A and B are shown apart, each in its own frame.
Chain A
Amino acid sequence: MDKLFPTQEIGSLAKPSWRVKGYRGEPLAKEDIAEALSWGRKLGIANLDTFTEVLHGKDSARRRKAMLEWSAKYAIKFLESAGLDVVFDGEQWRSEMYEHVVRNVDGFEFLGLIKSFDFRYFNKAACTRKPKYLRPFYVEEFAFTRDNAKNEVKVPFTGSYTIVDWTFNEYYEKRLRGKVADFKQRKFEAKRGFVFDLIKAVVRPEIGKLVDGGAKWIQIDEPAATTDQTDDEMKLFVESFNETVKGFNCTFSLHNCYSNYEVLAKHACELHDCSQLALEFANRDSKQLGTGSVRLGYKELASFEENGFKGNYGIGVIDVHTDFVESPQLVRDRVLHAVKIIDNPERIYVSTDCGLRTRTWETSYRKLKNMILGAELARRAF
């Protein structure tokens, strides 16, 4: 990109209540409709009359599809009108980053809910057969975004290593029963088999279709990259990324968050064709203004440089887990601090830490606006 500090979101935005209820076929309350129209006017969405009819319409397969399209249209406009250079559709077509993929691939069965923490749970699947490609799961969403976005598009893509890490691995472990005696070794070999089969059967075919459809930039989301920190596991993660992106005429980047960056940094330079590492930092940082020692949250950025990573960085300057709205000055200082570490402003993109899906649209908008103002303030220093 020509300008310094291009701005980007990482992926998800909250789903508006009209999108959630409408897609489920539940009746919309007056407030849901009012909210939809109010944001529609605020964002300057075209053909609001048509959308009003959809909102008041009866549930049908067609209306459900329309709900996805309208919420994607809203999200794209939301991100563009906030001023982001690189956009997507806020992942409005996806139920959630893991479930969306698993539900669209053959070989997985959901086993039930597991406690994540407190009264929060997640639905965990098991791989019970060799994964098989059933149907495209990102392609249609991408095509819609491509046709509706004015700005550059980046497609978030849940990585194979994370899907495998979040799934019980029954099929591959069963196959090794009696062949590998050591339990620990068996578990690892089974994981390896699962990762590479998933890449071959599902991930690469989907990427191929996205690239054929005109995708220029795909962001591989791997929040689980450093869950297991042994050398063997980290090597497996690196191999999985390299195998995923190999040979495609497309730009690839990696997103990771809430992880051990010291470990990731040691292996980041082994990633092939990884044009950008988009990382969460704001969550670890202080809210004080300034550069230098006050920027506690960014200290591990140096490790990536020391370990020889040559690509760009997506620097998380917005904490997605709090309603605190970062000021443009705080964003500016975080960016300028990163420049001091990287020593080349051209390698820095300005990002949110992660997807904004846990924040309201009001809060997200204010945060993004300030992020863009902060990036502009940082540009003035050059």
Chain B
Amino acid sequence: MSMIGCYATGIFPRPKELISITRDYERGRTGEAELDKAFSDATSRVIEVQSSAGFSYVTDGMLRWQDPLRPLAENLNGVKIGGLARWFNNNTFYRKPVVTGELSWKQGAGSKIVDVEHLPKDLPWKAILPAPYTLAQLSEGNFYKDKIELALKYAKILREQIESLVKQGFKYIQLSDPALVYRPRAGRISRNEVNIASEALKLAVGGVSVRTCLQTFFGDFCQILPEALDFPVDDLGIDLYETDLDRLKGYKFGKGVALGLVDSRRSLVENDGELVAVAKEILKSIESDGVGAFFVCPNCDLELLPWKRALEKVEVVSRVAKCLREEFDG
């Protein structure tokens, strides 16, 4: 085994002071400059949290993201911001992207998506974007023929951004794909849909020169097996709080896995020992000769927790990764 790492998989919660300034801003009690400074300060803090925890890759924390799709919806020509909709089965909301024209990036979109300025020079950087399949599923509008055409178009658009991120020095690209596994009533996703997601992934990240991951959450990863094992990404992210662990153990992966061992949707802080035991059991059973890496991570965006509790969970991620490293790498 060559590597056991850890990292964040989504948007961090905003610290209390930042929340207070965003509220003041909305009520007209403070200006753009103060708001911007508060975001910058909090971004530095979130980066510091990750580097102190020994994360293998650091993100900018995505604090400015108003929801998990917004920076794309706001920075693409051909998209209008639609009404509020529930973010899967959570009590949080996103604004629906409504596709009304040919998709292309607005000028200067990159800087609205990642905050490179605050990222440390001495640590590898990770960027997180929504996956094309999820983007297409959650969008409205009928400019494109169907969801397939839309997913493939989103994939091409994402590719442009990803190439640019790689040029800027990002070493890890995660695409978040909850819609691929969240199916509370529809039963197992059809093989046809999985193939569409795979095609879209090929366009978005196939052959990209840095490490890539497809992060799934809010649903059972097993339903996209075995096809997911051939997805054109280095790592596959699994939400262990939604996945049938026994079924998972029946597969040999042959690629990296990002184990969503820490639950961003529960405030109860996990027991390190229990997580280490679960991780060991899974890793031993899905391991095959070709496995390159294991990452310990939260199952989804930590922003579903209040700031303080999210920090405690970051510590759990860090400790569990360290413990596994000692066990496996000796």
Query: Cβ of A115 < 8 Å from any Cβ of B?
Result: yes
Contact with A along B58-94 (1 / 0, CB 8 A): 0000000011000000000000000010100111111
Q: Is B241's beta carbon under 8 Å from chain A?
A: yes
Chain A residue nearest in CB terms to B186: A229
Digitize B76-116: 1 where CB-to-A-CB distance is under 8 Å, 0 elsewhere.
00000000101001111111000000000000000000000
CB of A173 within 8 A of chain B? yes
Indicate the size class of the contact surface on chain B: 35 or more
Residues A227 and B271 in contact in the complex (CB < 8 Å), given A114-B305, A119-B25, A183-B240: no
Complex: A121 Cα to B19 Cα, angstroms: 8
Per the bound structure, the CA–CA distance linking A263 and B184 in Å amounts to: 11
- Which of B94, B185, B268 has the largest count of A CB atoms less than 10 A from its CB? B268
The answer, yes or no, to whether A14 is at the interface (CB within 8 Å) is no
In the complex, are the beta carbons of A112 and B307 less than 8 A apart?
yes
Residues of A close to B241: CB separation below 8 A: 183-184, 187
Q: With A and B bound together, what is the CA distance between A126 and B308 in angstroms?
A: 13
Q: Is the CB of A174 within 8 A of B245?
A: no
Contacts of B25 in A (CB 8 A): 119
Mask of B254-297 contacts with A, CB within 8 angstroms, 1/0? 00000000010011100100100000000000000000000000
Q: Does A26 reach chain B (CB closer than 8 Å)?
A: no
Given A119-B23, A166-B91, A184-B243, check contact A114 B304 (CB 8 Å). Answer: yes
Flag whether B206 is at the interface (Cβ < 8 A): no
In the complex where A170-B268, A173-B266, A229-B185 touch, is A117 in contact with B309 (Cβ < 8 A)?
no
CB atoms of B245 and A182 under 8 A apart: yes
Asked if B22 is at the interface of the complex by the 8 Å CB criterion, the answer is: yes
* Shortest Cβ distance from residue B130 to the other chain A in the assembled complex, whole angstroms: 16
Determine which of B16, B95, B184 lies in contact with A112 in the assembled complex, contact meaning CB atoms within 8 Å: B16
Chain B contacts with A in 25-73, Cβ cutoff 8 A: 25-26, 66-67
Q: Which B residues are in CB contact (< 8 Å) with A258? A: 86
**A70 CA to B22 CA in the complex, in Å?**
33
B66 touches A126 (CB 8 A): no
User: Are B66 and A117 neighbours in the complex by a CB distance under 8 Å?
Assistant: yes
Interface positions, chain A 217-242, Cβ under 8 Å from B, are 224, 227-231, 233
Do A117 and B89 touch (CB < 8 A)?
no
**A173 B309 Cβ-Cβ under 8 A:** no
Interface check B14, CB cutoff 8 A: yes
* Residue with the highest number of chain A CB atoms closer than 10 Å, among B14, B67, B185, B263: B185
Query: In the complex, what distance in Å separates the CA atom of A177 from the CA atom of B278?
Result: 13
Q: Contacts A114-B303, A114-B304, A184-B241 hold; do A119 and B92 have CB atoms under 8 A apart?
A: no
A165 touches B (CB below 8 Å):
yes
Knowing A119-B25, A168-B266, say if A112 contacts B92 (CB, 8 Å). no
B306 adjacent to A112 (CB under 8 Å): yes
The residue on A at minimum CB distance from B91 is A166
A177 to B273, CA, bound (A): 12
Known: A118-B66, A187-B266. A228 touches B184 (CB 8 A): yes
B5 at the interface (CB under 8 A from A): no
A224 to B90, CA, bound (A): 9
- Say yes or no: A126 contacts B267, CB within 8 Å: yes
Give Cα A183–Cα B263 distance, bound, in whole angstroms: 10
Interface string of A257-273 (1 = CB under 8 A from B): 01000010000000000
Q: Does B242 contact A (CB under 8 A)?
A: yes
A29 within 8 A of B: no
Whether B10 sits at the interface, judged by CB under 8 Å, is no
A159 to chain B, nearest CB (A): 14
Contact indicator per residue, chain A 143-180, by CB within 8 Å of chain B (1) or not (0): 00000000000000000000001101110011001100
B268 touches which one: A116, A124, A174, A229 (CB < 8 A)?
Answer: A174
Q: Are B13 and A116 in contact (CB under 8 A)?
A: no
* A111 close to B (CB within 8 Å): yes
In the complex, the answer to whether B13 meets A114 with C-beta atoms within 8 Å is yes
With the chains together, A113 CA to B90 CA distance in Å?
15
A115 and B267 in contact, given A184-B243, A187-B241 (Cβ under 8 angstroms): no
Q: How far is the CA of A41 from the CA of B244 in the complex (A)?
A: 64
Chain A residues with CB under 8 Å of B307's CB are 112
Which of chain A's residues have a CB closer than 8 A to the CB of B89?
227-229
In the complex, the answer to whether B306 meets A111 with C-beta atoms within 8 Å is: yes
Chain A residues with Cβ under 8 A from B92's Cβ?
114-117
- Determine the residue in chain B with the shortest Cβ distance to A263: B185
- List of B residues within 8 angstroms of A117 by Cβ: 66-67, 84, 92-95
Q: Which residues of B contact A121 (CB under 8 A)?
A: 19, 23
Instruction: Report whether B309 and A116 are in contact in the complex, using a CB–CB cutoff of 8 Å.
Output: no
Bound: A178/B305 CA distance, A: 24
* Cα of A285 to Cα of B3 in the assembled complex, Å: 54
CA A182 to CA B246, docked complex, whole Å: 9
A39 at the binding interface (Cβ < 8 Å) = no
**B contact residues around A113 at 8 Å (CB):** 16, 19, 306
Interface: A248 (CB within 8 A): no
B91 touches A122 (CB 8 A): yes
Chain B residues positioned under 8 Å from A229 (CB to CB): 89, 184-185
Q: Residues 168-195 of chain B: 1 if any A CB is under 8 Å from the residue's CB, otherwise 0?
A: 0000000000000000110000000000
> Which chain B residues lie closer than 8 Å to A170 at the CB level?
266-268
Residues on A with beta carbons closer than 8 Å to the beta carbon of B23? 119, 121
Q: Are B91 and A116 in contact (CB under 8 A)?
A: yes
* Bound complex: CA A126 to CA B240 (Å): 22
B218-271 interface (Cβ within 8 A of A): 240-245, 263, 266-268, 271
In the complex the two chains form, what is the Cα distance from A116 to B309 in whole Å?
17
- Chain A residue nearest to B14 (CB atoms) is A115
- Contact A230-B267, Cβ < 8 Å, known A113-B19, A117-B67, A117-B92: no
Provide a sorted-by-A list of 5 A–B residue pairs whose CB atoms are within 8 angstroms.
A111-B267, A112-B309, A115-B13, A117-B92, A229-B185
Q: Apart from A117-B95, A166-B91, A229-B185, what are 11 other A-B pairs with CB-CB below 8 Å?
A: A114-B304, A114-B305, A116-B91, A116-B93, A119-B25, A183-B263, A184-B241, A187-B241, A229-B184, A230-B184, A258-B86
Listed in ascending order, the chain A residues whose CB lies under 8 Å from chain B are 111-119, 121-122, 124, 126, 165-166, 168-170, 173-174, 177-178, 182-184, 187, 224, 227-231, 233, 258, 263
CB-CB nearest 7 A-B residue pairs: A112-B306, A168-B267, A229-B184, A119-B22, A117-B93, A170-B268, A119-B26
